[in-house]
């Protein structure tokens, strides 16, 4: 693979071609922040955040579009209701394998945060050194489901489809795969909060107070259940703090990553 911001080929994981981009040092030279996008996101929709993150932290940054998003291969619909668990257990480890990332800090946004959390809480993978969860979802909330229903109206009757077509080869697949799963009646009882009980790496949780898709209850679930260190950054913004309030996010993420590196560098000398 090519470690650059505009690779000429895609990643091949489980037979699917996945769009990706890389910034900063190689995995052999420094830990790598792996960015996992939201339910309607993709590589391009992180905009300049990955490059700024690499510059601020001095670490490598890997971003990729999950199957069905961006310029990655399309996906069959409907998505299964456990699609986030499948992405975490069946795809994410393959991405780490093919990219050679052996010291990973998983940074997920929204559905991407849930995928990162499921992986960290389900798989004993020593490559994962830290966990940054931005606007995570561990269970459904009525207000969040109402916002997702409103997004369907915007897609069917507004300009959301045209906006998504600028970034996704298959905007219908990207939108309907996400929206259809979340609004399925069977999804109302979805709850993966148990994975928090098994976190064994330091956590940074980021949330906007005005997040239209999730409330502070998601962050409180982490604080109440986690046995490992938890730092939080709560901002006066909506669902995408890294876009709406990038400077405080970059500052706190930079401090968090620097602390992880200091901890790893410390040598414990037996008495």
Note the pLDDT tens digit of each residue in 170-180.
999 999 999 99
- The residue-averaged pLDDT of 249-259 equals 98
Report the DSSP beta bridge partners of residue 62.
22, 34
DSSP label at residue 130: E
Q: Are 77 and 173 spatial neighbours (Cβ–Cβ below 8 Å)?
A: yes
pLDDT of residue 114: 98
Using alpha carbons only, give the angle 199, 203, 205 rounded to the nearest 5 degrees.
120
Look at 26-30, 126-130, 142-146, 266-270 and tell me which has the smallest mean pLDDT. 266-270
* Residue 82 C-alpha from the chain's centroid: 16
Note the pLDDT tens digit of each residue in 51-62.
999 999 999 999
Report the DSSP beta bridge partners of residue 203.
131, 230
Q: Which pLDDT band, with edges at 50, 70 and 90, does 265 fall under?
A: confident
**Cα→Cα distances 166→70, 159, 160, 161, Å:** 9, 12, 10, 9
- The residue-averaged pLDDT of 14-36 equals 98
Q: What is the mean pLDDT of the chain?
A: 96
- The residue-averaged pLDDT of 134-155 equals 97
Q: How far apart are CA 99 and CA 11, in angstroms?
A: 8
pLDDT of residue 270: 53
Q: Which pLDDT band, with edges at 50, 70 and 90, does 211 fall under?
A: very high
In this predicted structure, the answer to whether residue 89 has a pLDDT above a threshold of 60 is yes
Contacts of 177 (CB under 8 A, 6+ apart): 68, 75, 77, 78, 79, 83
Note the pLDDT tens digit of each residue in 100-143.
999 999 999 999 999 999 999 999 999 999 999 999 999 999 99
Q: Which pLDDT band, with edges at 50, 70 and 90, does 267 fall under?
A: low
Residue 241: which of 211, 198, 219 has the closest Cα?
211
- The residue-averaged pLDDT of 16-21 equals 98
pLDDT of residue 78: 96
- The residue-averaged pLDDT of 95-100 equals 98
* Residue 124 C-alpha from the chain's centroid: 19
Q: Are 11 and 1 spatial neighbours (Cβ–Cβ below 8 Å)?
A: yes
What CATH number does domain 11-265 carry, 3.30.980.10, 3.30.365.10, 3.40.50.300, 3.40.50.1820? 3.40.50.1820
Q: How far apart are CA 252 and CA 74, in angstroms?
A: 35
Q: How far apart are CA 259 and CA 225, in angstroms?
A: 22
Residue 202: which of 258, 135, 267 has the closest Cα?
258
Q: Which long-range contacts (CB under 8 A, 24 or more apart) does 181-190 make?
A: 181/78, 181/79, 181/80, 181/81, 181/83, 182/39, 182/140, 182/145, 182/148, 183/145, 183/148, 183/149, 183/152, 184/78, 184/81, 186/81, 187/81, 187/140, 188/140, 188/145, 189/140, 190/81, 190/139, 190/140
In this predicted structure, the answer to whether residue 250 has a pLDDT above a threshold of 70 is yes
Percentage of the chain exceeding pLDDT 90 = 96
pLDDT of residue 87: 98
pLDDT of residue 235: 98
């Amino acid at each position: 693979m090519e470690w650059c911001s505009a690779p000429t080929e895609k990643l091949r994981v489980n037979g699917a071609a996945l769009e990706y981009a890389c910034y900063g040092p190689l995995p052999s030279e420094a830990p790598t922040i792996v960015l996992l996008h939201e339910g309607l996101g993709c590589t391009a929709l992180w905009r300049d955040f990955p490059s700024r993150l690499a510059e601020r932290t001095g670490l490598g940054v890997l971003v990729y579009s999950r199957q069905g998003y961006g310029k990655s291969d399309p996906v069959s619909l409907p998505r299964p209701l456990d699609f986030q668990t499948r992405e975490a257990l069946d795809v994410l480890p393959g991405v780490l394998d093919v990219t050679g990332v052996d010291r990973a800090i998983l940074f997920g946004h929204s559905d991407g945060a849930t995928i990162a959390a499921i992986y960290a809480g389900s798989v004993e993978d020593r490559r994962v050194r830290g966990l940054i969860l931005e606007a995570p979802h561990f269970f459904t909330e009525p207000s969040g489901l109402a916002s997702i229903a409103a997004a369907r109206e915007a897609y069917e009757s507004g300009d959301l489809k045209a906006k998504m077509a600028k970034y996704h080869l298959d905007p219908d697949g990207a939108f309907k795969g996400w929206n259809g799963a979340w609004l399925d009646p069977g999804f109302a009882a979805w709850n993966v909060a148990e994975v928090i009980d098994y976190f064994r790496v330091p956590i940074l949780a980021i949330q906007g107070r005005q997040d239209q898709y999730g409330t502070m209850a998601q962050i409180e679930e982490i604080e109440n259940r986690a046995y490992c260190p938890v730092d939080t950054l709560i901002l006066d913004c909506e669902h995408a703090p890294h876009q709406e309030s990038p400077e405080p996010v970059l500052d706190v993420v930079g401090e968090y990553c620097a602390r992880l590196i200091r901890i790893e560098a410390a040598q414990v000398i037996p008495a």
